[in-house]
Structure 1
Amino acid sequence: MRWCPSSMLHLLRCVRLRSCTRRGRSRLPLWIREIWAYMSLLVQSLYFNSLTDSDVVFDSVFEPVFWTVDYVTRWFGTVFVCLVVILVGSIILIAYVVLLPLILNTYSPPWIAWHVCYGHWIIVMITFHYYKATKTPPGYLPTEKNDSPFVSVCKKCIMPKPARTHHCGICNRCILKMDHHCPWLNNCVGHLNHRYFFSFCLFMTLGCVYCSISGRNLFLDAYNALETNFLTPAPPYTFKDKMIHKSIIYMWVLTSTVGVALGALTMWHGVLISRGETSIERHINGKEAKRLAKRGRVYKNPFNYGKLNNWKVFLGVEKRSHWLTRVLLPSGHAPHGDGLTWEVFPVKKDLIPV
């Protein structure tokens, strides 16, 4: 075999080009090389996985996007919590500084007692349940070995997952009976704090509706006063009056808006609780129902114990008095069960007799 000079020259050029490419790539920062290697591995894995389907391809291609969203959500969680504290605190401040003096001067004693008792009860319930929802861990898989039955293996944690357990990319952990990750709590909503989350949403909605309805006439008066003074300024209209009217308008607009939005969310979660499922399970159960419907079969949620029993299990009501002590008053009782094992189809009996 003979080598011609032109072929030899071409080979030397290719070798030099490859060495220059490698040398130039080695000069790149380490984090860029790591990302490049990770992306190359993702692409190559698509050719060597016999179980590759559309979901695997989608997860692989959008993995950097998911990672970015999870990172940003984790970082902004603290900002959202501070925003909730500031907004709720501003409404409470307006209620004490502006509304309470008006109530004491204009309302009859029975109405004063009603507003003072109801308002303070709402404040206590909102504060208690929000604090517990943010500070209570949602429920994690035990680190030590346990004999609990599992239904799958988490591809991120490489650990067996019990029923109703899902992996949270933001918390980077598997959550027992995970509902969703709430940025307004900076925490996952799971088995141990699901009741606190729903109770906070419920009492926050009741508080917003209360402020919106009771402050409607004050809002109309404040809005008309500002509009009238803007068109024809009057000397008696002081800066203090202007700030009071603006505070009333701010309170009414904020509580009305939050009441509508949060009220819709609370009603949706109430429907899910009545069905015995979480937000994630609603999506999974819907897909499973469609899959079985094509085969002429009907899907039944194995964790649906009946509407009343679902609520008793969720709220931890074990006797009649608990509807008062555990639902209408602050209570830090633990939820029913350990979140690792679940009874299936106890429809004909009360799981928690009252």
Structure 2
Amino acid sequence: MRWCPSSVLHLLCCVRLRSCSRRGRNRLPLWIKEIWVYMRLLVQSLYFNSLTDSDVVFDSIFEPVFWTVDYVTRWFGLVFVWLVVILTSSIVGIAYGVLLPLIFNTYSPAWIAWHVCYGHWNLVMIAFHYYKATKTSPGYPPTEKHDSPFVSVCKKCIMPKPARTHHCGICNRCILKMDHHCPWLNNCVGHFNHRYFFCFCLSLTLGCAYCSISGRNLFLDAYNALETNFQTPAPPYTFRDKMIHKSIIYMWVLTSTVAVALGALTIWHAVLISRGETSIERHMNSKEAKRMAKRGRVYRNPFSYGKLNNWKIFLGVEKRSHWVTRVLLPSGHAPLCDGLTWDSFPVKKDIIPV
């Protein structure tokens, strides 16, 4: 039996139509197919090339968690700033309304002058540096083409990154000499406001320690007075006396707690400044030191010039008078460099005249 070409073509078309009709009955909606294809693409992207490692897989899986934390931290930044303002204002109000009258009635003129001068200097330093730390931009690398050298490319900004620059997920951009993102400032701590942040921490620690030490006896008297009043059937104190005693106890407990907690943070940052590194660089340098130690080599931080010079560069001290005008007094001077280029030679030399 012979098959003509036309009959063979007709048979093939019929089979094709039947198979198409069978597939059409089980065809899924287009939007479901798109979702399925997209999910397959996401899974395949986890092992797309040989550069993928456990860190990439971990970041991909926990990206929704990181995004949620960044979003919540960004929103709560304003809450934290207002909390700092309210708590600090409450301590200042108690100092003016309760402690200052007691100082005038109890201490000698010399001690009164000391408390008034030191207390107001400390208050000015706290307010100035906190305002500058929150309002000063930490510094961002330029988005347009520039001649400054860069060491890598940010995988999120897809922009060149100069040395010591890191990406902040909360600010959603790269920060020059980034130290960390501080929710209490609602701002990143970077090249242009790192000094303000440290001076604020140091000033607030000194202020809280000053209130805690000088108010210790007042705290003990107020606590004993409230205990005696609670145990006595007939209260010998008025409502105003109770509020004064409770205010002193509140001030002493809050300032003592902040002095210990913030003091530890301030000491840690002072150690980092002495080493010429940021919080992020501390972890990176530690890993690099361990890696080179396995090879029998010693790692040296390329951005450290000695403890004294590191402090001079950080504080912007260029001559002796700057220790007073730029350190002991509020100063809005800019850092000594632009944050884009750094001297990469770890030379232990006094590059700033004393």
TM-score by length of 1: 0.91
Paired with 1:353 and 1:39, the residues of 2 have a C-alpha distance of: 62
Cα distance change on mapping 1:299 and 1:15 into 2, 3 Å: farther
Q: Shift of the alpha carbon at 1:236? A: 3.1
Cα deviations across residues 28-64 of structure 1 (Å, max 9, x unaligned)? xxxxx7xx98876543211212200111111111111
Pairing of 1:204-223 with structure 2 (within 5 A)? 204-223=204-223
Residues 1:256 and 2:256 aligned together: yes
Paired with 1:213 and 1:37, the residues of 2 have a C-alpha distance of: 67
Pairing of 1:229-244 with structure 2 (within 5 A)? 229-244=229-244
Cα distance change on mapping 1:149 and 1:116 into 2, 3 Å: same
Can you give the 5+ residue segments of structure 1 that lack an aligned partner in the other structure? 3-7, 27-32
Cα deviations across residues 177-205 of structure 1 (Å, max 9, x unaligned)? 00000000000000000000000000000
Name the SS for the 2:327 alignment partner: helix
Cα distance change on mapping 1:13 and 1:290 into 2, 3 Å: farther
Paired with 2:206 and 2:261, the residues of 1 have a C-alpha distance of: 12
RMSD: 2.3
Cα deviations across residues 257-288 of structure 1 (Å, max 9, x unaligned)? 00000000000000000000000000111111
Pairing of 1:1-80 with structure 2 (within 5 A)? 16=25, 18-20=27-29, 22=30, 41-80=41-80
Paired with 1:294 and 1:23, the residues of 2 have a C-alpha distance of: 54
Paired with 1:98 and 1:39, the residues of 2 have a C-alpha distance of: 65
Q: Tell me if structure 2 keeps the 8 A contact 1:209–1:259.
A: yes
Residues 1:302 and 2:272 aligned together: no
Q: Tell me if structure 2 keeps the 8 A contact 1:292–1:298.
A: yes
Q: Which amino acid aligns with 2:28?
A: S
Paired with 2:215 and 2:190, the residues of 1 have a C-alpha distance of: 36
The aligned counterpart of 1:156 is 156
Can you give the 5+ residue segments of structure 2 that lack an aligned partner in the other structure? 1-10, 12-16
Cα distance change on mapping 1:23 and 1:151 into 2, 3 Å: closer
Q: Which amino acid aligns with 1:337?
A: C
Cα deviations across residues 294-337 of structure 1 (Å, max 9, x unaligned)? 11211110001000000000000000010000000000000110
Residues 1:350 and 2:353 aligned together: no
Q: Tell me if structure 2 keeps the 8 A contact 1:313–1:351.
A: no
Cα distance change on mapping 1:55 and 1:23 into 2, 3 Å: closer
Cα distance change on mapping 1:87 and 1:56 into 2, 3 Å: same
The aligned counterpart of 1:29 is none
Paired with 1:69 and 1:184, the residues of 2 have a C-alpha distance of: 15
Paired with 1:62 and 1:46, the residues of 2 have a C-alpha distance of: 13
Cα distance change on mapping 1:68 and 1:323 into 2, 3 Å: same
Count of aligned residue pairs for this structure pair: 341
Cα distance change on mapping 1:37 and 1:210 into 2, 3 Å: farther
Paired with 1:221 and 1:352, the residues of 2 have a C-alpha distance of: 51
When Rg is computed on C-alpha atoms for both structures, the one with the higher figure is: 2
Q: Shift of the alpha carbon at 1:146? A: 1.1
Return 231-240 or 136-145, whichever deviates more: 231-240
Cα deviations across residues 141-194 of structure 1 (Å, max 9, x unaligned)? 113321111100000111111100000000011000000000000000000000
TM-score by length of 2: 0.91
The aligned counterpart of 1:178 is 178
Q: Tell me if structure 2 keeps the 8 A contact 1:223–1:249.
A: yes
The aligned counterpart of 1:128 is 128
Paired with 1:136 and 1:144, the residues of 2 have a C-alpha distance of: 22
Identical positions, percent: 83
Name the SS for the 2:47 alignment partner: helix
Q: Shift of the alpha carbon at 1:9? A: 11
Paired with 1:99 and 1:222, the residues of 2 have a C-alpha distance of: 12
Q: Shift of the alpha carbon at 1:346? A: 4.9
The aligned counterpart of 2:111 is 111
Q: Which amino acid aligns with 1:266?
A: T
